[in-house]
Chain A
Amino acid sequence: MLATRIIPCLDIADARVVKGVRFQMLQSLGDPIERAQFYEEQGADEIMLLDVNASYKNRDLMFELISRVAKRIFIPLCVGGGIRDIEDMRMALMSGADKVAICTGAIMNPGLITEGAKRFGSQCIVLSIDAKRYKDTWHCYTYGGRRDTGLDVLEWARLSEELGAGEILLNSIDRDGTGEGYDLELTKMVSEEVSIPIIASGGAGNLEHLYDAIIRGRADAVLLASLVHYDEYQIGEIKDYLRTRGIRVR
């Protein structure tokens, strides 16, 4: 049986690992290469690198970092942040990424999903949705959570699947870095609507939250940052906990 994936996410700014709360207040947490290797040794199922600044800064530094991280790990590597066109995708993949996560770039040009899927395969294309609650629904945000597009999350998720996305990374802006738990309602809604895997992101504060995201939110994978970055939990402990709760993990 397929194991639920536990994916640590390294938010990157100026080639360092950082972490913020509700997409703000960035704090440096050290060398991404060491972190990535450390997580692989602990049993991470995949590594995500998100360039939190790249939406508006020079990206060469990021491509160089991707290649340095990719050289040292032997599990899948997904990268995102500032991927705007096919050339950015190609650069990221050629630097050693296995998948690219696109958010703002896909909303500005939905054809990028289709073109990317055609050129590199759907399995490479992770649609990243930055979702924020708006009345009874959720809106998609762009530019690292700074701009409300007014686009409905569910509608965008459905469309992106048709366009050729291979996975959806679903980030809750409301929960990001708060430790209050994943937005289960949002996660379940999107996961049940599409037939591609959903990675839940934003809000994990304890192990129960992960269980909830998988069982109640129907997430196919969970993204973690704060929970592991401050060495509060080791990935092995997280997996032991989920295993005792009856969830299949590697």
Chain B
Amino acid sequence: MIGIVDYGAGNLYSIVKAFDHLGFSTRVIKSVDDVLEIERVVMPGVGAFSSAIDGLKSKGLFSWLRNWIETGKPFLGICLGMQVLFETSDEAKNIKGLGIFPGRVRRLNAKKVPHIGWNQVLLNSACGLFKGIPSRPYFYFLHSYYVPYQESDYVQARTVYEVPFVSVLARGNLYAVQFHPEKSGGLGLRMLDNWVRLC
């Protein structure tokens, strides 16, 4: 069973629908009462940094989620679901993220913001999430904040929108992507399928 974290900020329809299509059952996690039998967790990307963190806290899911990730259980963060893994964000200066990774999420300073549309994911080396996916694939992005690109053992890929930013992270059973696989057509579905089979 795949648990989709609902922090109250929006629409989980797309991600649920994508797993449905792939034949995997999901359950929306609204409180810790919903986490029994959950084997994998997806933190979807809708809303703002502050509402996500506040939502997790008010539903009593903040510590549970951090513990889930820290104990190495299967996790996928999407878009904002990747950004909340960091310590802080320009989007909400006084709010602390999950702090799984060090650093601050920055506001994009490009000619056009948000970064909306299909852009290429440039992998540093082979990554299980991208098995069977051609190199330099296009995925759908939609965000105004980004994690600055830097080489490190958990940074798997970068994407360039005026500046290079982190588009894929992986460490053990933790995976996180800045783009929306559930909105990236057939390749996105393939990536989600890979994730389930990986961990």
List residues of chain A with CB under 8 Å of any chain B CB. 1-5, 40, 45, 70-71, 74-76, 93-94, 96, 98, 120-123, 166-167, 195-197, 220-221, 250
Contact B18 A195 (CB under 8 A): no
Which of B8-16, B27-35, B98-106, B166-174 participates in binding chain A? B8-16
Q: A1-B160, A75-B140, A123-B114 provided; 4 other pairs, C-beta below 8 A?
A: A93-B11, A94-B13, A220-B117, A250-B138
A203 to B7, CA, bound (A): 43
Contact A75 B112 (CB under 8 A): no
- B188 CB contact (under 8 Å) in A3, A74, A167: A74
B142 at the interface (CB under 8 A from A): yes
- Shortest C-beta distance, B135 to chain A (Å), equals 14
Helix, strand, loop or mixed for chain A's interface?
loop
B186 at the interface (CB under 8 A from A): yes
- A167 CB contact (under 8 Å) in B14, B116, B138: B116
- A94 CB contact (under 8 Å) in B11, B115, B140, B161: B11
> Which residues of chain B come closer than 8 Å to A75, judged between CB atoms?
140, 183-185
A3 to B13, CA, bound (A): 26
A40 to B111, CA, bound (A): 29
- Shortest C-beta distance, B164 to chain A (Å), equals 11
- Residues 98-141 of B, flagged 1 when their CB comes within 8 A of A and 0 if not, give 00000000000001111111111000000000000000001011
> Which residues of chain B come closer than 8 Å to A196, judged between CB atoms?
112-114
A196 to B186, CA, bound (A): 28
> Which residues of chain A come closer than 8 Å to B142, judged between CB atoms?
76, 123
> Which residues of chain A come closer than 8 Å to B140, judged between CB atoms?
45, 75-76
> Which residues of chain B come closer than 8 Å to A166, judged between CB atoms?
114, 116
A71 to B184, CA, bound (A): 14
Contact A195 B183 (CB under 8 A): no
> Which residues of chain B come closer than 8 Å to A76, judged between CB atoms?
140, 142, 183
Contact A96 B14 (CB under 8 A): yes
- Shortest C-beta distance, A218 to chain B (Å), equals 10
- Shortest C-beta distance, B28 to chain A (Å), equals 13
> Which residues of chain A come closer than 8 Å to B47, judged between CB atoms?
120-121
10 A–B pairs (Cβ distance < 8 Å), ordered by A = A2-B115, A2-B117, A96-B14, A96-B17, A98-B183, A121-B46, A121-B48, A123-B144, A195-B113, A221-B117
